[in-house]
Amino acid sequence: MDGSIFAPLKKENIFHQVLKDARRRPGKELWGLCVSGGLDSICLLEVLPQVAQVTGHELLVFHVHHGVGKNEKLQQFRQEALNKVEEICKRKNLRLLHNLNLRKSPSFSLSDSEASLREYRWRCLQKICEELDLSPVFLTAHHRDDVLETRMIQLLRGVGPKGFIQFQKSNQTIWRPFFDFSREDLYRLAQRHDWSWVEDPSNDNTRYLRNWLRKDWFPQLEGQRPGSLNSLHRSLDLIVEGLRVESRLLERLLQTDGLHRGLYNSLSPSAQRQVLAEFIEQCGIFSHTKGQLEEIQKRLDAKSHNLNFHICGLFWSVSKTLIKAVR
């Protein structure tokens, strides 16, 4: 196994921390464990049923088989992964649902890109739930190393603030119980309890950006400047938290009948442009330029209590307290 980019947590007990988080969740929630058969998800499959016994939550297990391919090694892994998940579910008397039993598989062109495979998995999960009329909260085994890798990939792809804060510990449909633990924490947990898993051979392929970051770039960065990965993770955490604060402020700003002028005026120029871009999209205009946003800013900077102007395909009406725009 590759070493984690983070040192293991010495004092944290994974089971008790996950149990603590679980007790904060709604009691009638149905949990759907997403299990691939790899190390991280096997830990999920071993830990969460124990947690559910304490909290009383009902749970199901989901597995997505990626079909028959030309790569014999990859095909063998896929079958071994399914067998491993079936074996554990049978031993624990857990209900296992997988896409091979679907009446009609999702119509999707499956390629070997990470994004394509992820999209296929989610389509399969949604289809299974539709056929069986289920509405679970999906539990995935993402951990601290995954968080840093994902955020770096998002940065390299130029994702905006909204996309950057979407990958979080939990929301209404997803809970990631291992979000605060490292890959090394999970590895040590599995070793301590003698749990076995199946290694995905594609994890060694550095053609994939995530694998290249994990196997090449992160170790080189840490070797050049020890401690830099922890610092990078901490900095990105702070940036994401700042973006979440801005997002909550944005929700207050974007009232149903317009934009709160007082709160808008309290923002920095760059934050004002972000708010205006969101507001314009809410009004149904999805194509605008930075120059148009700056022109709207300039008009709104006027001290007049009542303003009317036409920019970006919208008619703007501004009072002392409210900024409105209609098509």
154-178: pLDDT as tens digits = 999 888 777 888 889 998 899 999 9
Structural domains in the chain plus CATH codes: 14-234 (3.40.50.620), 256-326 (3.30.465)
Q: Return the DSSP state at 215.
A: I
- pTM of the model as a whole: 0.78
Assess whether pLDDT exceeds 50 at residue 11.
no
Token look-up 């079909």 returns: 67
CB atoms closer than 10 angstroms to residue 69: 12
Phi (first) and psi of residue 30, to 5 degrees: -95, 125
Q: How far apart are CA 87 and CA 309, in angstroms?
A: 67
Tokens matching residue 303? 């001290």
What average pLDDT does the structure give for the chain? 89
Contact 27, 58 (CB under 8 A): no
Nearest to 164 by CA among 218, 232, 236: 236
**Average pLDDT of the segment spanning 237-256:** 80
